[in-house]
Structure 1
Amino acid sequence: MLIDLNSDLSEGFGPWSMGDDAGMLSIVSSANVACGGHASDPETMVQILSLATGNGVNVGAHPGYVGGHPGYNDREGFGRRVIPMSPAEIGRMCAAQIGALKGIAAQVGVPITYVKPHGALGNLAARDAEVAAAIVKAAQMIDPELAILAISGTHTEQAARAANAPVYSEIFADRGYLSSGQLVPHGQDGAMIQDAAEAVARLLSFLETSLMPVIDGPPIKLAAQSICVHGDSPGSVDMAREVLQQLTAHGIQITGFIET
């Protein structure tokens, strides 16, 4: 069995950072790089892109909520608060961020191969078909070959397929699920899985059965080509390393979902 392991990186500004990006890049096969929205800046992008290419890691754009809509700036909220915006505004916000990362990547010589919306934006797209379609359209207008990395079983996945865009689906190693297929919101009981052994056991069971446990009902059937371990959680590198070691020990090969 082959599966990708991805993480959200570049989530800092200048000297300030969240998580151990270098450590995570030695483990994962795909990196979701913040591109100036909820986090990151040009120099941070350069550093992460350079590390990624040195480790043979696929790179995707990770757009999130940010100022640019009058009266809103969500860097304090780290992109985890839904900001009232129309689907068209969300599409333009994503286009600006994807374009920024592609511009920096061109200087470093790294291809940007996919897009994964961050945090509250990703969760909104998962449940709102119009927002999902706007994000997919923005990515496809920039580059029709850009793939969409979508939360499995959600509107984002469906919108990408409807647009004939390349699409890959993901599950989360360290997040709880609802019966809708969406993630348990931050701040609610069951939102985060912090025990590596629990995360690994759940992943191994899922990879065998395609069934994901949820907090509000029986397990649901999902499909995935990638597993996400968040880079900003406490002990995230240790958890990612344990996931890698245990999956490998069970005969599962970690490899990028896109060949570059």
Structure 2
Amino acid sequence: MKTLLLNCDMGESFGAWQMGLDEEVMPHIDCASIACGFHAGDPSVMRRTVSLAVKHGVRIGAHPAYPDLAGFGRRSMSCSPREVEDLLHYQIGALNGICRAQGATVSYVKPHGALYNDMMRDPELLHTVIRAVAAYSPDLPLVLLARRDNSEAEAIATQHGVGLLFEAFADRTYDAQGHLVPRERPGAIHLTHEAVVAQALKIATGQPLSTTDGSMLQLQADTLCVHGDNPAALAAIQQIRAALQSAAGR
């Protein structure tokens, strides 16, 4: 059974508005993908979230997005390649500066929301994102969606000398090619703990998932995304961690 790193999107509060259960979730994960201020988060939230990750020995990842606070980064934007590179460098650099002040560092990059989904469907945008990461630091791996065929992304990453971490989702459903079903569609999200934990175990043990058209999808993943923005999700994370450790005989 492959050991999957559990990652969670964090630091998504903003000013007086609180989102997520970061303090409760952080002890149960391996990697914290921290919002960098464009879709959520602000300097103080980023500092507190980095401090929390350092306290629990959790890896810190930059979670950059389109500049879309009102839409939580879930709306696609028409940006030039130069603009995409600039917004990535700005956000990664901001988080890494806050990390350095606390003796930590950014250890990976995981784009958020619409930027993440857009780059998985647009090879030119994916090329731009990988090029931007390589320009900032080729030592930073980029988190990408694990799909049925990852060869195109692997070829682009190899061209730029960037490592990849392939990600799967415990609480989302997939289409036949391995893309996430859009959130607004019925059945896009698993709603029960049982379904979420079952999918996590299938991914960890290399079992295929059933897609929206009834075909079977085999995913090769390095990390599993879990969402912890409510008490029910926190319970699911705890169950996933326990189930993975039990299945691995630990």
Both proteins in one fold, TM over 0.5? yes
Q: Could you tell me how far apart the structure 2 residues matched to 1:78 and 1:130 are?
A: 24
The one-letter amino acid paired with 2:18 is S
Q: Could you tell me how far apart the structure 1 residues matched to 2:228 and 2:235 are?
A: 10
State the SS of the aligned residue for 1:59. strand
**1:9 maps onto 2:10 in alignment:** yes
Q: Could you tell me how far apart the structure 1 residues matched to 2:81 and 2:185 are?
A: 27
Structure 2 equivalent of residue 202 of structure 1: 199
Q: Could you tell me how far apart the structure 2 residues matched to 1:193 and 1:32 are?
A: 22
Structure 2 equivalent of residue 137 of structure 1: 131
The CA deviation at 1:157 is 5.2
Structure 2 equivalent of residue 217 of structure 1: 214
Q: How does 1:1-260 map to 2 (within 5 A)?
A: 1=1, 2-66=3-67, 74-153=68-147, 156=153, 159-232=156-229, 235-251=232-248
The CA deviation at 1:85 is 1.5
Aligned residue-pair number = 246
User: Could you list the runs of 5+ residues in structure 2 that have no partner in the other structure?
Assistant: none
The one-letter amino acid paired with 1:56 is G
| Contact 1:157–1:169 under 8 Å retained in 2 | no
TM, length-normalised to structure 2: 0.92
User: Could you list the runs of 5+ residues in structure 1 that have no partner in the other structure?
Assistant: 67-73, 254-260
Q: Could you tell me how far apart the structure 1 residues matched to 2:127 and 2:70 are?
A: 27
Alignment root-mean-square deviation, CA: 1.7
State the SS of the aligned residue for 1:209. coil
Q: Could you tell me how far apart the structure 1 residues matched to 2:56 and 2:98 are?
A: 18
Structure 2 equivalent of residue 258 of structure 1: none
Structure 2 equivalent of residue 257 of structure 1: none
Distance 1:217 1:162, change over 3 A: farther
State the SS of the aligned residue for 2:85. helix
Q: Could you tell me how far apart the structure 1 residues matched to 2:6 and 2:249 are?
A: 11
> Percent of aligned positions with the same letter in both sequences?
37
State the SS of the aligned residue for 2:8. strand
